[in-house]
Amino acid sequence: MASKRQIHVGGVPIGGGAPVAVQTMTKTETADLTATMAQIRRVAEAGADIVRCAVPREQDVEALRTIVRESPIPIIADIHFNYTLALKAIDAGAHCIRLNPGNIGGPDKVALVAEKARAAGVPIRIGVNSGSLPRHLHALERENSVEALVTAAVEFVELMETLDFRDFKVSIKSTNVPNTIASNRLLSERIPYPLHLGITEAGTKWSGSLKSSVGLGTLLADGIGDTVRISLSTFHAEEEVKVAWEILKALQLRERGPVLIACPTCGRLQFDMDTVVAEIERRLEAYKDPIEVAVLGCAVNGIGEASHADFGITGAKNEGLIFSRGRALRKVPQEQLVDTLFAEIDKYVASGKQL
Ligand code: SF4
C-alpha cells in the first residue's frame, strides 16, 4: 500500500498521500555544467519533479553546488562506494542523497552520512539493487531472490532506525519484472516508508518502456509506489519523463497535458488516419491543458468515443466528422481535419472555460 510516512525532497512531498513524483537521472558527466544544466532544464520542462545526478568524482561534487543553485527542480546526488562524496554533496546543498548502504563502506560510514543528513535536514534514498546484495544474502538470493531483496532492504531500514534516522525512502530494483513486482509488494507490507519504483537497466526506448509500464503500472495500480523512474538506454532523459507521465496518466494518478485516444484502425478505415493522428499528436505537445482528443477511424465506435472526449474526429471516406465537447459539428475533407479540430480546441482554450 502507499506509504504512511512522508518525506520532502526539496519542496516535493513523497509518500503519505502525495501525488506520485516523476524522477529521472541526468546522463551527462555531472561536472560538465553546461550539458548537465541543459539536460536538467529539458527534463523539468518535460515534467520531471526531481532529478538525480551521478556524483562519482570530486569534480562532480564541486559542480553540484552550482547545479543545485540553478536547477528549477530538486537534485538528488547519487553516491556509490565513497561516503565522503555523500558528506560533500550534503555540504553542496543536494536536496537528497541516494546511496546503497551495502557499498558505502559499512555501518559506521552510513552513520556518518545519516548524522550529517539529519543536521542538514536532507533525506536519503536507500537503494537496494539485485546486482549488489550484501554477501551474507547470496545463499538466500539463490534460493529466493525476492526474499533476499526484501531482507536486504529491511536490514538497511533497521540500520537507519537504529541510527534514529527516519527521513528516507527505499527502492528495490531488479532487471526482472516479476521480482520487482513481488519484492515491492512484500516490502510495502513490511515498512511504512515511501517507495521509489523502477526497473533497473530496463532496456531501449521500446522494450524498456514496455517493461517499465508492466512492472510499475502493476504496482501503481495496487497503490504501491510514491516516486517512479523509467530507465531507458537513451541519452535523452526527457524520454524517460514522458514515459513516466504516460503511465501515471493512463492510471489516472496524475494529470498533465492532453490525452490522445486513437483507434488501432482496421479494414473499415477509409481515410489517411496515420498522418492525421501523427499531426494531432505533434500539435498537442504545445498544449498544457488536460484536453482529451479522440480520433476514430469510422462510425462503428467513433460516434460514441468522439462524443465522450472533449474533442474528436470520426472518420469516413476521405473526410471526418468533427466533435466538440459532445456535439457533432460538421464533416470536413481529410486535408482540413487537423486544422479544423485545432481551431475548435483553440477557440475553447481561448474562452478560458474549464473543460
Ligand atoms: Fe476499425 Fe472503425 Fe474500430 Fe477504428 S473505429 S478500429 S476503423 S471499426
* Residue in the structure block whose three cell numbers are 492525421: 276
CA of 312 to the centre of ligand 1 (A): 14
Whole-angstrom Cα distance, residue 233 to residue 230? 10
**CA dihedral sign of residues 344, 346, 349, 353:** negative
Q: Are residues 75 and 214 in the same domain?
A: yes
Dist. CA 107–CA 271, nearest whole Å: 65
Cα distance from N-terminal residue to C-terminal residue, the chain: 32
Which of 250, 276, 294 is the C-terminal boundary of a domain? 250
Domain that holds residue 330: 259-351
ipTM: 0.99
Torsion sign over Cα 326, 332, 334, 335 = negative
What pLDDT does 245 receive?
95
> Is the shortest distance between the CB of 297 and ligand 1 below 6 Å?
yes
Same domain, 120 and 52: yes
Q: Are residues 186 and 216 in the same domain?
A: yes
Residue 354, pLDDT above cutoff 80: no
Q: Are 100 and 132 in contact (CB under 8 A)?
A: yes
Domain-located, residue 1: no
Q: Do 47 and 177 reside in the same domain of the chain?
A: yes
CA of 266 to the centre of ligand 1 (A): 6
What pLDDT, on a 0 to 100 scale, did the predictor assign at position 275?
96
Ligand 1, residue 305: give the atom nearest the CA. 5
Model pLDDT for residues 76-106, shown as the tens digit of each residue: 999 999 999 999 999 999 999 999 888 888 8
- Is 53 annotated for ligand binding? no
292 is in an annotated binding site: no
How many residues in total does the chain contain? 355
Please tell me the pTM assigned to this model. 0.90
- Return the H-helix or E-strand segment holding 333: strand 327-333
Ligand 1, atom nearest to 267 Cα: 1
List all residues 6 or more positions away from 324 whose beta carbon is below 8 Å from its beta carbon: 310, 311, 344, 348
Mean per-residue pLDDT for 209-238? 94
One domain, residues 314 and 190:
no
Is 114 inside a domain boundary?
yes
Residue 271 belongs to domain with CATH number:
3.30.413.10
The total number of structural domains in the chain stands at 2
Mutational test site, ligand 1, from 263, 295, 313, max ligand atoms within 8 Å of CB: 263
pLDDT in tens, 252-292: 999 999 999 999 999 999 999 999 999 999 999 899 888 99
CB of 268 shorter than 6 A to ligand 1? yes
Give φ, ψ of 13 to 5 degrees. -75, 140
> Per the domain annotation, does 297 fall within a domain?
yes
Q: Which amino acid is at 176?
A: N
Q: Are residues 200 and 55 in the same domain?
A: yes
